[in-house]
């Protein structure tokens, strides 16, 4: 299934690595949020239908977390107060 | 009563914008009748008062008051129970205040001032009391505000009603070829809506009118798809180019105007519904865009009214982006600070707000929950900002205070008769660390006719002087001393100049030119109804030469020491004098030591008068001059290092210092030392050439003439 991932608020020159259980990986460096659309980057990862979770790493912030998908396909990631904030909106869109 | 008042509001709006009135106005009007008190008021300078209301116990930096406004926000649509005001003085001198209000009686409110911005040393008040005079006739409406608290005498100001709106803004809606600009919506077209929301055809301008803006619109038109390039997808740069080409109001300056562009798609794809794209160049937030073929054109499966859903999302996106143009952040990121920016006041995030600045699909329950109680409005925090924040924070195209704009409100003549120059009388405008920066000013008549100017036009407290360190906000110098003198007009003949000097380093607002680095200085003088503005002048402060300098600097950069230097000495500011004495002893070779010696020695040359309490009264205590102590301090600085003194004090100040001391010496009977001092002064200035410019012969002649008078015993008073 396709998981849509939006890296939203709080990124400033950061590196992000997102890995699925089957090895699918997304990596981006020097990400900075454009605050007027609350978006640093977005991507889609093809993961097995039965995939449970994603591993999210922000090495520039010392963050490493496991994000449980629970069957959800829209994932938003933000950094606030040094911690990863995860959201599962019904839709991903920016304005 | 409120409904009747609201009706009048809407009718006034409709009439102002040529829209059809909802029905005939009843006549005669049936009392009781209540007009709204909210709106913009202006102080009519001189109205109802013989004298101008003083601004406060320390009226520095703002006088004369040229403009004073009140924004009263206590009724009407979404009242914020707030009053705010702006007091404009000379050019950039300004105070902005905001107070929360509580109703205490019919047409009366009181509250604490919780926000101040600008020259706040001139505005010590902490409380306001507001009284509104209502009338069905706008010209008869008024408001009286009493400012009190903060240890200052009460200040009462009477304002006249100007408008039900707090400000004015212009919108232009353009569209890409093949698309259209839809700027209205039927609020009841979609069944998912608040049950209490009125059904109406709501327009984008009306949304902002309800936010407090008097909206005007410029005719829109199509934008060529060629501007989007071969792929017909828009990039930010392409939209910026289109804005410059098609927006009738485009200008590289801050203005209350915004361009709104309806396009198909951004090059980022369908995931981007709109963007405030204008974040390049010196003037941000003038242009916004929405993309009608993006995700906002795809209603959720099973939506009961897909066409209405699309219209609603398009409307929401347009106002959302325009809200960013007003410098509003998303609802969930209000508290975001550096490095992304900073809120104007501490703000709370509003992740569940039913505001244009929230994403409908991001709230708990998603867009169904959002639109179920979304009333097509901004949140109270956002309305407070739009209506009451300092103008520069909200206005499109505005930047940080003074950056890139300089004296934007200066009333500069297109054919100026006068020019103003700021300069340092040295080859290179580089100052030692801790060296006080004395700059000279030259006001020249470049016309063919004499011009009447105030003799004190170049005095520090009559000028506006702005300093800006690279990378920092601009600061206005507020001098320590303000004179009250009877104006004396003098005729400046064609080709002639008036000279003055100013200490730029320090004033009431602190040491604004102290750290090493590059600074820009700009000055403006008021002549009649016009402002004569200098070109920006660049100077540099060198880094400390030793650890010892760094150590002493901490004490020098204090108010006391600054005052002593600015006032050329005092016998009563002991802490300041102690710092300067330490500088003389520890850093004798540095230029700050010249200034220290002068400030320490100068008061010793006169009978020094102090007002001291005695037996529950005030008496004048006179301390005799100490000429030998004075000589010991002053001679090394002003005479033995005359060239250095002229360089660091500036020619004008150096000359005045030596002449004044010579007169005092002569008055005390020491004519020989007096005339010797003037010989040194003459020789030093005669040898000075700065940027191929020697000291004027008439200056040297005047020094000679003074010396002759002292030698002959003709002149003995300073």
- Does the pLDDT value for residue B689 go beyond 70? yes
- Does the pLDDT value for residue B192 go beyond 50? yes
Query: Could you tell me whether strands B438-445 and B497-503 are parallel, antiparallel, or unpaired per DSSP bridges?
Result: antiparallel
Q: How many helices (H) and strands (E) does chain B have?
A: 16, 34
What's the pLDDT band for B93 if we cut at 50, 70, 90?
Answer: low
Q: Distance between CA B98 and CA B385 in Å, rounded?
A: 11
Mean pLDDT confidence for B404-410: 42
- B511-552 pLDDT, tens per residue? 989 999 999 898 988 887 777 888 888 899 999 999 999 999
The overall average pLDDT reported for chain B is 87
φ, ψ (nearest 5 deg) of residue B371? -75, -15
Answer yes or no: do A91 and B361 touch at CB < 8 A: yes
- B324-372 pLDDT, tens per residue? 999 999 999 888 777 777 778 888 889 999 999 999 999 999 999 999 9
- Does the pLDDT value for residue B62 go beyond 70? no
Please report residues of A whose CB lies closer than 8 A to that of B330. Answer: 35, 38
The better pLDDT of the pair B192, B717 is held by B192
Answer yes or no: do B273 and A92 touch at CB < 8 A: no
Q: Which of B271, B317, B366 sits opposite A92 (nearest CB)?
A: B271
**Å between B279 CA and nearest CA of chain A:** 9
Q: CB contact, 8 Å: A82 with chain B?
A: no
Sign, Cα dihedral of B402, B405, B407, B408: negative
- Does the pLDDT value for residue B54 go beyond 70? no
Please report residues of A whose CB lies closer than 8 A to that of B271. Answer: 42, 92-94
Please report residues of B whose CB lies closer than 8 A to that of A90. Answer: 300, 361, 366-367
- Which is nearest to B634 in space by CA: B693, B686, B711, B569? B569
Answer yes or no: do A90 and B279 touch at CB < 8 A: no
Residue in chain A closest to B369 (alpha carbons) equals A90
Answer yes or no: do A93 and B329 touch at CB < 8 A: no
Chain A / chain B CB contacts < 8 angstroms: 60
Answer yes or no: do A93 and B336 touch at CB < 8 A: no
**Is residue B121 within 8 Å of B99, Cβ to Cβ?**
no
Bridge partners (DSSP) of residue A80 are A83
**Is residue B39 within 8 Å of B165, Cβ to Cβ?**
yes
Query: Could you tell me whether strands B287-291 and B274-275 are parallel, antiparallel, or unpaired per DSSP bridges?
Result: antiparallel
Residue B272 gets which letter from DSSP? B
Please report residues of A whose CB lies closer than 8 A to that of B309. Answer: none
**Is residue B212 within 8 Å of B167, Cβ to Cβ?**
yes
Answer yes or no: do A35 and B329 touch at CB < 8 A: yes
Q: CB contact, 8 Å: B365 with chain A?
A: no
Q: Distance between CA B617 and CA B615 in Å, rounded?
A: 5
Answer yes or no: do A91 and B321 touch at CB < 8 A: no
Low-confidence ranges of chain A (pLDDT < 70): none
Please report residues of B whose CB lies closer than 8 A to that of A42. Answer: 271
Q: CB contact, 8 Å: B294 with chain A?
A: yes
What does the longest C-alpha to C-alpha distance in chain A come to? Answer: 35
- Does the pLDDT value for residue B410 go beyond 90? no
Please report residues of B whose CB lies closer than 8 A to that of A8. Answer: none
**Secondary structure (H, E, C), B633-648:** HHHHHHHHCHHHHHHH
Answer yes or no: do A36 and B275 touch at CB < 8 A: yes
- A6-17 pLDDT, tens per residue? 999 999 999 999
What's the pLDDT band for B234 if we cut at 50, 70, 90?
Answer: very high
What's the pLDDT band for B581 if we cut at 50, 70, 90?
Answer: very high
Q: Distance between CA B296 and CA B273 in Å, rounded?
A: 6
Answer yes or no: do A35 and B271 touch at CB < 8 A: no
Peptide bond into B64 cis (omega under 30): yes
Residue in chain B closest to A4 (alpha carbons) equals B271
Q: Distance between CA B480 and CA B460 in Å, rounded?
A: 9
Q: What is the pTM of this model?
A: 0.67
Answer yes or no: do B273 and A95 touch at CB < 8 A: yes
- Does the pLDDT value for residue B646 go beyond 80? yes
Answer yes or no: do A42 and B321 touch at CB < 8 A: no
Torsion of CA B599, B605, B607, B611, to 10 degrees: 0
Residue in chain B closest to A36 (alpha carbons) equals B276
Q: CB contact, 8 Å: A95 with chain B?
A: yes
Q: CB contact, 8 Å: B324 with chain A?
A: yes
Q: Which of B274, B333, B341 sits opposite A38 (nearest CB)?
A: B333
First to last CA, chain B: 71
> Residue B226's pLDDT is what?
85
Q: CB contact, 8 Å: A89 with chain B?
A: yes
Answer yes or no: do A12 and B272 touch at CB < 8 A: no
Peptide bond into B412 cis (omega under 30): no
> Residue B482's pLDDT is what?
73
**Å between B180 CA and nearest CA of chain A:** 19
DSSP for B563-579, please give it: HHHHTT--SS-HHHHHH
Please report residues of B whose CB lies closer than 8 A to that of A38. Answer: 330, 332-333
- B621-631 pLDDT, tens per residue? 999 988 889 99
Across chain A, the runs of DSSP E, i.e. the strands, are 2-7, 12-20, 25-32, 41-46, 53-58, 63-68, 74-80, 83-87
Mean pLDDT confidence for B655-669: 91
Q: How many percent of chain B have pLDDT more than 90? A: 64
What's the pLDDT band for B425 if we cut at 50, 70, 90?
Answer: confident
Answer yes or no: do B333 and A95 touch at CB < 8 A: no
**Is residue B536 within 8 Å of B521, Cβ to Cβ?**
yes
The SS3 assignment for A40 reads: coil
Please report residues of A whose CB lies closer than 8 A to that of B317. Answer: 95
Peptide bond into B339 cis (omega under 30): yes
Across B247-382, the runs of DSSP E, i.e. the strands, are 257-263, 274-275, 287-291
Bridge partners (DSSP) of residue B713 are none
> Residue B91's pLDDT is what?
58
**Å between B343 CA and nearest CA of chain A:** 13
Q: Distance between CA B266 and CA B236 in Å, rounded?
A: 8
Quick one: B208 exposed, middle or buried, by C-beta within 10 A (0-12, 13-18, 19+)?
Answer: buried
Mean pLDDT confidence for B60-81: 84
Q: Which of B324, B359, B362 sits opposite A36 (nearest CB)?
A: B324
Answer yes or no: do A95 and B317 touch at CB < 8 A: yes
Q: CB contact, 8 Å: A44 with chain B?
A: no
**Is residue B549 within 8 Å of B433, Cβ to Cβ?**
yes
> Residue B48's pLDDT is what?
41
> Residue B414's pLDDT is what?
62
- Which is nearest to B78 in space by CA: B214, B187, B205, B211? B211
Q: Which of A9, A37, A89 sits opposite B275 (nearest CB)?
A: A37
Q: CB contact, 8 Å: B273 with chain A?
A: yes
Answer yes or no: do A89 and B366 touch at CB < 8 A: yes
Q: CB contact, 8 Å: A92 with chain B?
A: yes
Q: CB contact, 8 Å: B297 with chain A?
A: no
Q: CB contact, 8 Å: A27 with chain B?
A: no
Please report residues of A whose CB lies closer than 8 A to that of B273. Answer: 93-95
Answer yes or no: do B272 and A38 touch at CB < 8 A: no
What's the pLDDT band for B412 if we cut at 50, 70, 90?
Answer: low
- Which is nearest to B203 in space by CA: B14, B77, B367? B14
Answer yes or no: do A93 and B294 touch at CB < 8 A: yes
Q: CB contact, 8 Å: B107 with chain A?
A: no
Residue B234 gets which letter from DSSP? B
The SS3 assignment for A65 reads: strand
**Å between B349 CA and nearest CA of chain A:** 12
Q: Distance between CA B535 and CA B512 in Å, rounded?
A: 20
Please report residues of B whose CB lies closer than 8 A to that of A36. Answer: 275-276, 279, 324
Answer yes or no: do A95 and B274 touch at CB < 8 A: yes
Bridge partners (DSSP) of residue B469 are B519
Q: Which of B273, B279, B332 sits opposite A94 (nearest CB)?
A: B273
């Amino acid at each position: 299934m396709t998981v849509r991932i939006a890296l939203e608020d709080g990124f400033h020159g950061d590196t992000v690595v997102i890995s699925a259980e089957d090895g699918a990986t997304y990596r981006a460096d020097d990400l900075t949020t454009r605050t007027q659309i609350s978006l640093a980057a977005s991507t889609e990862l093809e993961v097995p239908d039965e995939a449970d979770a994603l591993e999210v790493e922000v090495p520039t912030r010392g963050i490493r977390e496991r994000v449980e998908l629970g069957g959800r396909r829209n994932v938003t990631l933000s950094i606030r107060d040094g911690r990863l904030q995860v959201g599962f909106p019904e839709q991903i869109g920016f304005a | 009563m409120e409904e009747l008042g609201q009706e009048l509001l809407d009718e006034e709006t409709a009439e102002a914008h040529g829209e059809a009135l909802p029905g005939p106005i009843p006549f005669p009007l049936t009392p009781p009748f209540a007009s709204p008190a909210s709106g913009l008021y202006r102080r009519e300078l001189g109205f109802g008062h013989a004298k101008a209301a003083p601004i406060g116990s320390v009226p520095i930096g703002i006088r004369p008051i040229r403009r004073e406004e009140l924004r009263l926000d206590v009724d009407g649509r979404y009242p914020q129970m707030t009053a705010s005001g702006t007091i404009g003085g000379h050019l950039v001198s300004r105070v902005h205040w905001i107070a929360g209000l509580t109703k205490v009686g019919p047409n009366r409110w009181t509250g604490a001032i919780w926000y101040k911005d600008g020259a706040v040393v001139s505005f010590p008040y902490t409380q306001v009391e507001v009284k509104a005079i209502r009338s069905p006739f706008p010209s008869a409406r008024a408001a009286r505000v009493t400012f009190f608290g903060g240890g200052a005498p009460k200040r009462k100001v009477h304002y006249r009603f100007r408008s039900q709106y707090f400000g004015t803004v212009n919108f232009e809606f353009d569209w890409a070829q093949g698309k259209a600009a839809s700027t209205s919506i039927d609020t009841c077209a979609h069944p998912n809506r608040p049950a209490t929301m009125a059904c109406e055809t709501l327009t984008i301008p009306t949304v902002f009118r309800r936010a407090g803006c008097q909206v005007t619109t410029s005719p829109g038109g199509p934008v060529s798809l060629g501007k989007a390039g071969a792929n017909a997808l828009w990039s930010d740069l392409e939209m910026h180019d289109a804005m410059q080409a098609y927006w009738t109001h485009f200008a590289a300056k801050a203005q209350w105007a915004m361009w709104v562009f309806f396009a198909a798609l951004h090059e980022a794809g369908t995931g981007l519904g709109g963007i405030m794209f204008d974040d390049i160049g010196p003037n941000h937030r003038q242009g916004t865009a929405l993309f009608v073929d993006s995700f906002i054109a795809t209603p959720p499966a099973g939506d009961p009214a897909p066409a209405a859903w699309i219209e609603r999302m398009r409307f929401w996106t347009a106002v959302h982006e325009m809200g960013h143009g007003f410098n509003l952040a998303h609802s969930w990121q209000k508290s975001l600070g550096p490095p992304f920016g900073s809120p104007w006041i501490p703000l709370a995030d509003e992740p569940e707000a039913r505001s244009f600045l929230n994403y409908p699909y991001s709230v708990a329950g998603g867009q169904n929950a959002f639109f179920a109680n979304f009333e097509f409005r901004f949140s109270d925090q956002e309305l407070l900002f739009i209506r009451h924040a300092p103008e520069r924070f909200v206005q499109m195209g505005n930047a940080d205070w003074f950056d890139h704009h300089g004296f934007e409100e200066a009333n500069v003549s297109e054919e100026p008769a006068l020019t103003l120059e700021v300069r340092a009388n040295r080859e290179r405008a580089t100052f030692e660390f801790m060296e006080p920066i004395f700059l000279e000013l030259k006001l020249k008549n470049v016309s063919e006719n004499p011009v009447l100017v105030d003799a004190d036009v170049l005095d520090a407290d009559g000028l506006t002087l702005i300093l800006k360190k690279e990378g920092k906000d601009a600061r206005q110098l507020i001098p320590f001393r303000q004179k009250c003198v009877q104006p004396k007009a003098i005729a400046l003949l064609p080709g002639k100049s008036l000279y003055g000097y100013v200490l730029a380093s320090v004033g009431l607002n602190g040491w604004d030119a102290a750290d090493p680095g590059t600074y820009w200085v700009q000055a403006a003088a008021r002549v009649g109804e016009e402002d004569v503005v200098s070109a920006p002048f660049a100077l540099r402060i060198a880094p400390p030469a030793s650890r010892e300098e760094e150590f002493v600097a901490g004490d020098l950069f204090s108010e006391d020491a600054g005052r002593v230097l600015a006032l050329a000495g005092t016998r009563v500011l002991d802490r300041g004098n102690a710092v300067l004495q330490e500088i003389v002893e520890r850093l004798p070779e540095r230029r700050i030591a010249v200034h220290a010696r002068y400030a320490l020695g100068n008061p010793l040359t006169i009978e020094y008068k102090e007002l001291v309490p005695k037996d529950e009264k005030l008496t004048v205590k006179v301390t005799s001059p100490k000429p030998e102590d004075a000589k010991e301090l002053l001679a090394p600085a002003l005479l033995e290092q005359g060239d250095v003194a002229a360089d660091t004090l500036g020619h004008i100040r150096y000359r005045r210092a030596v002449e004044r001391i010579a007169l005092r010496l002569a008055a005390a009977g020491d004519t020989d030392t007096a005339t010797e001092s003037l010989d040194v002064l003459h020789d030093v200035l005669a040898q000075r050439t700065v940027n191929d410019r020697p000291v004027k012969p008439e200056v040297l002649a005047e020094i000679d003439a003074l010396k002759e008078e002292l030698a002959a015993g003709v002149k003995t008073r300073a």
